[in-house]
Amino acid sequence: MSFPNLSALAVRERAVTLFLILAVLAAGTFAFIKLGRAEDPRFTVKIMTVTAVWPGATAKEMDENVGDILEKRLQELQYYDRVETTAQPGVLQAKVILKDSTPPAAVPDQFYQVRKKLADEARNLPRGVYGPFFDDEFGDVYFSLYAIQSKGLPNRDLVKQAETLRQQLLQVPGVQKVRILGERPQAIFVEVPQAKLTTLGVNAQDIMAALAGRNDVTPSGSVDTAGPRIQIRLDTGLTSLEDVRNVTLSVRGQLLRIGDFAEVRRGYEDPATYEINHAGQPAVVLGVVMAPRYNGLTLGKALEKEEAAIHAQLPLGLSVTKISDQAKVIHHSVDEFMMKFLVALGVVMLVSLVALGFRVGLVVAAAVPLTLAIVFVIMLLTGRDFDRITLGALIISLGLLVDDAIIAIEMMVVKLEEGYDRVKAATYAWTTTAAPMLSGTLVTILGFIPVGFAQSSAGEYAGNIFWVVGFALITSWVVAVTFTPYLGVVMLPDIKPKPGHHAMYDSKAYTAFRKLVRLTVDHRILTIAITVGLFLLSGAGMIVVKKQFFPNSDRTELTVEVKMPVGSAFEATKAVTARIEADAMKQPEATDVSAYLGQGAPRFFFSLNPELPNPAYAQVVIQTKDVEARAKLKERLRKWVKEGRYPQARVRVTQFVFGPPVPYPVLFRVIGPDEAGIMKVAEKVRSVLAENPNVMDPHLDWGEKTPIMRYVIDDARLAQLNLTRQAVDLQLRGLVSGAPATQMREGTRTVDVVLKTPADERRSPSDLVGMTVTNTLGQAIPLSVVVHQVPDTESQQIKRYDRDLYVSVQGDVREGLQPPDVTAELLPKLEAIKAALPAGYRIETGGSVEESAKANVALVAVVPVMILLTLVVLMIQVRAFSTMWMVFATAPLGLVGAVPAMLLFNQPFGFNAILALVGLSGILMRNTLILVQQISDNKKEGATDYDAVVEATVRRARPVILTAAAAMLAFIPLTHSVFWGSLAFVLIGGVGVGTILTLVFLPALYSFWFNVRKPQSETSHA
């Protein structure tokens, strides 16, 4: 290279080089200690939730009069992807989902824009709509969850204890947020029997007005004196149940206390909307969120210390139990990967020592810790932590980073055998192989560009593979041309010159290998034909390889989803969930059971997508002893579900999956303009899924209509009886569901004061007919006089996907099968349904296939950039179009080894396998590039074209074989990883076959490509 000879500089300034080596090792050790530890990389959840409430509105009214207005405004967002809206009676919930390509840094501003735009739009919503309300922290992942419990202690008192503990936990270094979950809104109920209302001539409006008037906070003025200003305060607030009972109202000239005719009691919102149970008992949960870039293990130790202090001061009977511990998961995950990392490191160093001899091998092996030390420093400076992705990338790098050191030290040994002195031998590699080594390193790194720059959630999750591998390989080149020559000068034994040129390549092993290379070159057409045939056969083999998006997680939790019929009461959901909890706690595999009723579990694992509030939904999280116990319990629970143990609900038993959240592995969206129409089509789709034995529990996610009682008002009778629709509505709602009259302030909480009738007077619609409403004259009018009942049904849920009405047809797959394969079986059978769809209707494929396609499209979008940059590097190095294209043509040949490896070891082809295959292309091109450069160097030394090809292959044999052996052995620990397994097998197969291709196929390809002919007579092989 024309650049200053770094090898010569390192050897000449030995004291400086030694200082740098020691400094690098010290800095690397410091960085290793300081680097954060996490289970998974930081991941931006590009979802925000929006909620609006309109008491009394139907699902259709929420959809048309609220949802439509908000959805239109959301489409103005710069990175808008879609909005998924669910309308229920009185409530609208929307998930605003940004494009996968949204830069993480732009997400907060997009969330702000959602707030701003919808707040502006709120004035256009119908009168009586509350909201919209926003949650832009939907993506927070809880580091730890603590259940606070005490038998018999009310929820409000648990919350008070939680407030104290929250403040303590916030003082722990590394804690960013602490949230209280499971708090039930308190209420003070004023229950008035219908008979007393009728007898006394009291109406609900009067009671509500009296309560509100007694509780107003109004300014009463102040008096200025010669000294301080004296504020005047009127005692108007309600502060206790007795205050509520003592509120008076005038009825027909008489003063009545509310306590004289109503029961005033303390309680909670009725019906309940969200409850949390732990071990079958009610609980309040504290959720701890870790600060960004903090060391999870450090935080775990700090929390354990704080927990000890908390337990020491807990009141008798109160318990605080950790039900989710990310520190434990991180510890297990990092320890497991560190063990695999150390095994891989040991394997690489052992291969070097055994294959090259102790002292030569020691020089090569020393390059590994030096390279890693620098990489750790770079990771610390660039904000990368130890997690599943970076540790996996480091293991991948281990198998590749010794190649440059092997080339450099082998070149030095050869030159020493030729009679060079140590310094000259150590610096010779710079002038001959530094440039091709750098080009080969860059080509290998460029092979991972797609994952580094893929604009997708999967790309964001796995993107550090590119950066860490890139850091490691570039650093390995720097180490190979600086520290390795210095270590060679210092550590290599005395190597005496050997007679003859390149004497080390004339051993029996090299002679036999030279004959094999000559044979492949002499029969180049046959060699190429066999290779092409194997490539085509491997391509065909991809048809039978199982397909996958991301693998199942190795976490030990099981989740049990309880889905009652849409519109079910909270208490019905609670009853079924209680049975499941009780059954789960009896199982020997279960170590902890928590239940979340009315919405999903909080996000304590990044791919857990919490279900939005829904009284017909609950989720039970079961912690098991280990993966084997999880599998046993999952099979048992699924068997119970199949046998109909919980017939009232749709019960789904699942485990976590790596990668972006996917609601159901197999899912089809039926989209159209009419509810009845899409339901009809969806039933046909469901029938197709039901016919496939590989699909479990195919169903529609909504569509059931529930009974309602419609009250038709006689306006003429209303006028005759001095009543209005508004008065009837207010009194009916207040007596049946309860109407908030005012709020009582208790410390930091406000408590609704709610007017309603006793529960035993509103058990069924028939009870309501006997109720009375009071007119403006104070007369009690039977409700049956002004209304008549009409039984009816209506949708309790309406869903839209990017403003289109839709219903999902979804299901799980049988254990051991992959969702893409099952979806591929279904698609041909859906073609007939798709062909017969009316105008405006369509069927879209969702689930794992859709998410996988998004990830793959994002990868493919970057491939042209990868190709262009690769060609640039190749052209700069080889300076010839023909050579450049020949090197590039070897890129896809990794498929020849990858497909047999996947088939042999039953590995699926998913996102990680795609990354391995793309990265493999760079590894193969690197081998080809360095071989081509060696051929060129041989030609410059005077060898014939034929001998140049043969001898270059012979010379590259040991470095290629050693690097391949080191890489394949280094990847073996990853084969036992649930996440990295398929990637490891693809790389092992690809590198193994790639080695054969480099040493057997490439000489034949080069000879064919450049028409190299065997000389008529040969007298020398050297």
pLDDT value for 166: 93
Sequence-separated (6 or more) residues with CB below 8 Å from residue 20: 483
Domain 203-220+231-260+706-794 CATH class label: alpha beta
- As a three-state string, the secondary structure of 135-160 is ECCCCCCEEEEEEEECCCCCHHHHHH
Q: Taking the CA of residue 90 as centre, how many other CA atoms within 13 Å lie in the half-sphere pointing to its CB?
A: 6
What percent of the chain clears pLDDT 70, i.e. is strictly above it? 95
255 is written with which tokens? 């003063």
- For 159-165, the CB contacts below 8 A with 24+ separation are 159/183, 159/284, 161/284, 161/315, 161/318, 162/284, 162/286, 163/748, 165/286, 165/310, 165/320
Q: Which of 298-307, 331-340, 891-900 has the lowest mean pLDDT?
A: 331-340
* Gap between the Cα atoms of 658 and 453, Å rounded: 20
Continuous segment of H or E residues that includes residue 850: helix 847-878
Q: Which of 40-54, 110-124, 730-744, 890-904 has the highest mean pLDDT?
A: 110-124
Q: At what angle do helices 326-356 and 296-313 cross, to 10 degrees?
A: 150
Q: In the prediction, which pLDDT does 1022 show?
A: 41
Which pLDDT score is estimated for 234?
66
Domain boundaries, the chain: 1-34+357-496, 46-138, 203-220+231-260+706-794, 506-544+880-1015, 553-656
Tell me the mean pLDDT in the region 594-606. Answer: 91
Q: Band of the pLDDT at 573, cuts 50, 70, 90?
A: very high
Question: Which residue from 817, 808, 816, 874 is spatially nearest to 845, judged by alpha carbons?
Answer: 808
Strand order from edge to edge, sheet including 263-268: 263-268, 186-191, 749-756, 739-746
Least confident of 390-404, 433-447, 900-914: 390-404
pLDDT band at 3 (very low <50, low <70, confident <90, very high): low
Second CATH level (architecture) for the domain 506-544+880-1015? Up-down Bundle (1.20)
CB 422 within 8 A of CB 363: no
- The two three-digit tokens of residue 800, written as one number: 């839209």
From 403-417, 437-451, 572-586, 587-601, the region with the lowest mean pLDDT = 403-417
pLDDT band at 326 (very low <50, low <70, confident <90, very high): confident
CA distance 481 to 487: 11
**Can you identify the CATH homologous superfamily of domain 553-656?**
Multidrug efflux transporter AcrB pore domain (3.30.70.1430)
CA distances from 804 to 82, 194, 504, 675, 854 (A): 10, 46, 73, 11, 20
User: Which is higher by pLDDT, 293 or 502?
Assistant: 293
DSSP string for residues in 897-933: HHHHHHHHTT--B-HHHHHHHHHHHHHHHHHHHHHHH
Residue pair 137/610 in contact (Cβ under 8 Å)? The answer is no
Report field, pTM of the whole predicted structure over 0.95: no
What would the pLDDT profile of 531-554 be if each residue is shown by its tens digit? 999 999 998 888 888 887 777 788
Residue pLDDT, tens place only, 425-465? 888 878 877 888 888 889 889 888 888 888 887 788 888 98
CB 222 within 8 A of CB 232: yes
Helix (H) or strand (E) holding 1004: helix 1002-1009
* 469's tokens: 């591998």
State which amino acid sits at residue 381: L
Which carries the bigger pLDDT value, residue 733 or residue 541?
541
Between the CA atoms of 110, 115, 120 and 124, what dihedral angle is there, to the nearest 10 degrees? 110
pLDDT band at 694 (very low <50, low <70, confident <90, very high): very high
Per-residue b/e over 39-49, b at no fewer than 16 CB within 10 Å?
A: bbbbbbbbbbb
Do the beta carbons of residue 898 and residue 986 sit within 8 Å?
A: yes
Estimate the share of the chain in helix, then strand, then coil, as percent rounded to the nearest 5. 55, 20, 25
**Which secondary-structure segment (H or E) carries 381?**
helix 358-381
Distance (Å, whole) CA 307 – CA 175: 14
Task: Enter the tokens of residue 161.
Answer: 């204890």
Segment (H or E) for 355: helix 326-356
Please give the pLDDT value at position 843: 94
Q: What is the mean pLDDT of residues 370-386?
A: 92
Q: pLDDT tier at 219 (50, 70, 90 boundaries)? A: low
* CA atoms of 673 and 677, how far apart (whole Å): 8
Neighbour count for residue 842 (Cβ, 10 Å)? 15
CATH superfamily label, 46-138: Multidrug efflux transporter AcrB pore domain (3.30.70.1430)
Instruction: Report the mean per-residue pLDDT for the chain.
Output: 86
Confirm if 207 and 755 have CB atoms less than 8 A apart. Answer: yes
Lowest mean pLDDT among 120-134, 263-277, 392-406: 392-406
* Beta bridge pairs of residue 708: 792
Tens digit of each residue's pLDDT (9 = 90 or more) over 8-58: 888 888 999 999 999 999 999 999 988 888 877 877 888 999 999 998 888
Tell me: cis bond preceding 132? Omega within 30 of 0 counts: yes
pLDDT, tens digit, 9 for 90 and up, residues 637-691: 999 999 989 999 999 999 888 877 788 889 999 999 998 899 999 999 999 999 9
CB atoms within 10 A of CB 769: 15
Give the position of tokens 């400094």: 23
**Which residues, 6 or more positions from 973, have their beta carbon under 8 angstroms from its beta carbon?**
339, 340, 341, 343, 344, 395
Whether 232 shows a pLDDT value over 90: the answer reads: no
The average pLDDT across 398-408 equals 78
**pLDDT at residue 768 in the model:** 64
More confident residue, 628 or 506: 628
User: By the 8 A CB rule, do 662 and 846 touch?
Assistant: no
Judge whether 46-138 and 506-544+880-1015 match in fold.
Answer: no
Q: Could you report the per-residue pLDDT of 184-218, keeping only the tens digit for each?
A: 998 898 888 877 777 777 777 788 888 887 776 66
Q: Tokens for 941, please give them.
A: 């030394």
Average pLDDT over residues 848-861: 84
State residue 400's pLDDT score.
76
pLDDT digits (tens, 9 = 90+) for 472-499: 999 999 998 899 899 888 888 777 776 6
What was the pLDDT predicted at 129? 92
Under DSSP, the state recorded for 29 is: H
At the topology level, CATH places domain 1-34+357-496 in Multidrug efflux transporter AcrB transmembrane fold (1.20.1640)
Give the pLDDT of residue 1020.
44
pLDDT (mean) for 988-1007: 87
Strand partners, 618: 562, 597
The pLDDT assigned to 134 comes to 93
Amino acid identity of residue 748, one-letter, is: T
Specify whether the CB–CB gap between 62 and 90 falls below 8 A.
yes
Residue 766 — very low, low, confident or very high, per pLDDT cuts 50/70/90? Answer: low
Token representation of residue 856 = 């793959």
Q: What is the DSSP letter of 700?
A: E
The model's pLDDT over 78-102, given as tens digits with 9 standing for 90+, comes to 999 999 999 998 999 999 999 988 8
Q: Are 137 and 128 in contact (CB under 8 A)?
A: no
Residue 50 near residue 96, CB atoms below 8 Å: yes
Q: Report residue 195 as tokens.
A: 């008979």
| Per-residue pLDDT at 91 | 93
Dist. CA 459–CA 453, nearest whole Å: 7
Instruction: Decide which of 48 and 393 is more confident.
Output: 48
What's the pLDDT band for 808 if we cut at 50, 70, 90?
very high
Residue 734, pLDDT score: 65
Q: Which residues pair with 275 in a beta bridge?
A: 597
Tokens 């991809």 identify what position? 542
pLDDT band at 763 (very low <50, low <70, confident <90, very high): low
In this prediction, residue 80 carries a pLDDT of: 94
- d(CA 790, CA 614) in angstroms, rounded, equals 27
CB 659, CB 842: distance < 8 Å: no
- Residue 1021, pLDDT > 60, answer no
Peptide bond between residue 271 and the one before it cis (omega within 30 degrees of 0): yes
As a whole number of angstroms, the distance between CA 317 and CA 241 comes to: 27
